[in-house]
Amino acid sequence: MTTLHLDLTRIATRRSILADLRDRLDGDAQAALDAAVAAAGVPEKHHHDLSEVFDTIDALAASDQVKDDMYAIYGILAQAEATAHGCEVEQTHFHEVGNGEALRNVCAVCLAIEALEPERITATAVQTGSGKVQCAHGELDIPAPATAAILATGIPVYDALLDGELCTPTSAALVKHFVDEFVA
């Protein structure tokens, strides 16, 4: 059985998860991943709500599995935003998680996992970081409310917190969707 293990004890951002997955691929596979991300066609625009995100995912040049993973990840994000703001999922409004870069990173993570073909994914507890973060809603405690809502669904958090935002809502959603088991 092929198990992919993610060490999230120091940083658990979407960029760090993507970099880790990309580093597990050989040079040719990295080039293929980069080409697949570019070919997928994620637009640079900002996606304000779940229906806009889903419309964009529908239009991507990617496999059904990648699209299904992306639908699930953005569904997790929308639910977390709804929980954090006390509204219905359909009323959520995406800020940072809805920009083109965030969607492209999520697409790239999904494509990398598809390329690596793990049968199982495990991870350590998640390093959330500590302090304050400036975002569209002003200054918030770390973890931000949407991140905390996702982590509260059963994702263990690393005890020794480092400074800064080291787990974002998007990365928490990636972990929630992909990780089968948390181990030391």
pLDDT tens per residue across span 101-130: 999 999 999 999 999 999 999 999 999 999
Closest CA to 155 of 175, 130, 178: 175
pLDDT above 80 for 26:
yes
pLDDT beyond 80 at 95: no
Work out the average pLDDT over 20-48: 95
Checking if the pLDDT of 47 tops 80, the result is: no
Q: Are 81 and 98 in contact (CB under 8 A)?
A: no
Contact between 107 and 35 under an 8 Å Cβ cutoff? The reply is no
> Whole-angstrom distance between the N-terminal and C-terminal Cα of the chain?
19
To the nearest 10 degrees (0 to 180), the angle between helices 64-85 and 169-178 is 130
Per-position DSSP letters for 56-89, written without gaps between them: HHHHSSS-HHHHHHHHHHHHHHHHHHHHHHTS-G
pLDDT at position 142 is 94
122: enclosing H helix or E strand: strand 120-123
> What is residue 137's predicted lDDT score, i.e. its pLDDT?
63
Which has more confidence, 90 or 103? 103
Per-residue confidence (pLDDT) for residue 46, from 0 to 100: 85
pLDDT, residue 91, reads 80
Reported as a pLDDT band with limits 50, 70 and 90, residue 184 is confident
Stretch 65-79: mean pLDDT = 97
182 pLDDT higher than 90: yes
User: d(Cα 107, Cα 141) in Å, to the nearest integer?
Assistant: 28
Pair of tokens at residue 123: 């991870």
A 10 A CB-CB count for 54 gives 17
| pLDDT bucket at 154, cuts 50 / 70 / 90 | very high
The two structure tokens encoding residue 163: 């400074």
Name the band, by pLDDT with cuts 50, 70 and 90, for residue 14: very high
Share of the chain above pLDDT 70, in %: 98
Token output for 146: 């949407």
Burial 23-47 (b: 16+ CB within 10 A, else e): eebeeeeeeebeebbeebebeeeeb
The sheet carrying 3-6 orders its strands as 3-6, 120-123, 181-182
- 19 has a pLDDT exceeding 80: yes
Q: Please state the rounded mean pLDDT for residues 60-72.
A: 98
**What is the pTM for the complete model shown?**
0.95
